[in-house]
Structures are given as C-alpha cells and as structure tokens.
Structure 1
Amino acid sequence: METIAIGVVGMHCQSCVKSVSMLLESLPGVARVEVSLDAGQARISYDPKLASIADFTAAIDEAGFESS
C-alpha cells in the first residue's frame, strides 16, 4: 500500500467532502480515503498495482473539482 495527498480545490462544505470521499473510495485499489475541507486535500491509501495518481486526479477533475 502507498499513501498520497492530493490537493482538492473547489470544496466548500461537508457535502463536497462526502462527494469526493465516496468518489475516491469507489475506485479500484483504494483502501482508505481521508478528505479534509480545512486542508483542501485528500489522503488516499491505495494499491499502486490497481490504481494510479492519474486515476485520482482524473476522477476529482471529472467530478467538478480541481486536483492540485
């Protein structure tokens, strides 16, 4: 397992946090997700054989937020 922190721009409330969390948790290979509104980031623990950083940033961007 690896863990990465990705910035998420555009979250304004806990509903946004929940949306991002659920989106990332649904991706193959993701074991754990912690999204912080205050920090504006998502910490993702994942299996690098099944998921990549590009998968996470694409999903965040497609959901209407901006990864950074």
Structure 2
Amino acid sequence: MTTETIKVEGMSCDHCKHAVESALTNLDGVSTADVNLDAGNVKVDYDDNKVSMTNMKEAIEDQGYDAK
C-alpha cells in the first residue's frame, strides 16, 4: 500500500470534500481518501499496482478541481 498527498485547488466546502473523496474511492485500488479542506489536499492510500497517480488526478479533475 502506498500513501500520497495530492494538492487539490478549488475545494471550499463539504460538497467538494465528498466529491473528491468519492471519485477517488470509486477507483479500483484506492482504499482511502481523506480531504483536508484547510490544507487544500487529499491523502490517498492506494495500491500502485492497480491505480496510478495519473488515474487519481484525472478522477479529481473530472469533478471540476485542479490536481497538482
């Protein structure tokens, strides 16, 4: 299991938090996603044999946020 923190721009409320967490946890290989609105990031635990950083960033961007 790998843990990474992804910077996410544009999140400001609980809806944003839920949208990003749901988009990530729906990916095969992501076990947890925990958004920190104050820090503007999401901590993700995932299996790097099943999902890539690119996949996760695309899932975030599909929700309308900028993943860095």
Deviation digits for residues 36-68 of structure 1 (CA, Å, limit 9, x no counterpart): 100100110000110010001111111110001
How high is the sequence identity, in percent, across the aligned residues? 35
Gap regions ≥5 residues in structure 1: none
- Say which SS state the counterpart of residue 49 (structure 1) adopts: coil
Question: How far did 1:19 drift?
Answer: 0.8
Question: Following TM superposition, where does structure 1 have runs of at least 4 consecutive aligned residues deviating by more than 3 angstroms?
Answer: none
Q: Which residue of 2 aligns with 1:7?
A: 7
Q: In 2, distance between residues paired with 1:35 and 1:58?
A: 16
Q: Which residue of 2 aligns with 1:24?
A: 24
After TM superposition, the score normalised by the length of structure 1 is 0.95
- Say which SS state the counterpart of residue 32 (structure 1) adopts: strand
Aligned length: 68
Q: Which residue of 1 aligns with 2:58?
A: 58
| Alpha-carbon RMSD | 0.6
- Say which SS state the counterpart of residue 45 (structure 1) adopts: strand
Q: Which residue of 1 aligns with 2:37?
A: 37
Which amino acid counterpart does residue 10 of structure 1 have in structure 2?
A: G
Question: How far did 1:10 drift?
Answer: 0.5
Q: In 2, distance between residues paired with 1:52 and 1:11?
A: 22
Which amino acid counterpart does residue 48 of structure 2 have in structure 1?
A: P
